[in-house]
Structure formats: structure tokens, C-alpha cells
């Protein structure tokens, strides 16, 4: 039963929610987003790092240049799934893009 429960949780069903959230964020923010994960360390000292990059788009939708890039040490904030880590990264980037937009609108 334990293996079946694990398989049910690990089948990637949450990845569609991540894809929809990521797609909506790209449309609203007019950016292209990339998420990547890296494992560092060995044995019991393994750490999972996540990185999200936002690319500025030209009029045709092609990525031009990096607007922002954020990294998170997922193992420190106790994220239990890759989907949870990806959603956390999207929220981190959403906050960064919103802050950049607010800063750009400040007078002077």
C-alpha cells in the first residue's frame, strides 16, 4: 500500500497545475520563465537548489535578455515535492517582478 500511495503522489499530476500557473504568469508579466533544479553535496548532506529566470520578450515573443534570476535552497525551507518547489520559485519571481515594476514607476 505504501508503494501505491507513493506512486499516486509521485505521478506528476501536480505538474499540470505548475504549468498552468507558469503559463498564466508569463502572459500577465509578458516574460518567458525557466525553472531549473540542481543537487549539491553528497550523502546525507544533499541539498536541492531551485532557480527561476525571467526573460524579457520582443514583439514576436522571442526571449531577448534576462530580467531577473532568483535561486532558492529548497532543502532549507522544507519543500517536500518538486511541484511545491517550482510554485515557491514562481511566487519568489512574481514578487521580484512586481517590485521591479513598482520601482520603475517611482518618480525621479
Q: 68: left (phi > 0), else alpha (psi -120 to 50), else beta?
A: beta
Q: What is the pLDDT of residue 50?
A: 94
3-state secondary structure of 86: helix
Instruction: Dump pLDDT digits (tens) for 20-68.
Output: 999 999 999 989 999 999 999 888 888 889 999 999 987 777 768 899 9
User: Going by C-beta distance under 8 Å and a sequence separation of 6 or more, which residues neighbour residue 83?
Assistant: 14, 15, 17, 18
pLDDT at 2 over 50: no
User: Mean pLDDT, the chain, as a whole number?
Assistant: 84
Q: Which domains does the chain have, with CATH numbers?
A: 2-105 (3.30.160)
Contact between 52 and 90 under an 8 Å Cβ cutoff? The reply is: yes
Beta bridge partners of 35: 52
Q: Among all chains, which residue has been given the C-alpha cell 532568483?
A: 70
Amino acid at each position: 500500500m505504501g508503494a501505491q500511495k507513493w506512486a499516486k503522489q509521485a505521478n506528476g499530476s501536480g505538474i499540470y497545475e505548475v504549468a498552468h500557473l507558469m503559463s498564466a504568469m508569463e502572459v500577465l508579466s509578458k516574460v518567458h520563465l525557466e525553472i531549473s533544479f540542481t543537487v549539491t553535496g553528497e550523502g546525507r548532506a544533499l541539498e536541492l537548489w531551485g532557480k527561476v529566470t525571467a526573460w524579457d520578450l520582443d514583439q514576436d515573443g522571442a526571449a531577448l535578455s534576462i530580467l531577473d534570476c532568483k535561486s532558492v535552497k529548497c532543502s532549507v525551507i522544507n519543500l517536500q515535492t518538486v511541484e511545491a518547489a517550482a510554485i515557491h520559485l514562481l511566487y519568489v519571481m512574481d514578487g521580484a517582478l512586481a517590485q521591479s515594476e513598482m520601482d520603475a514607476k517611482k518618480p525621479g
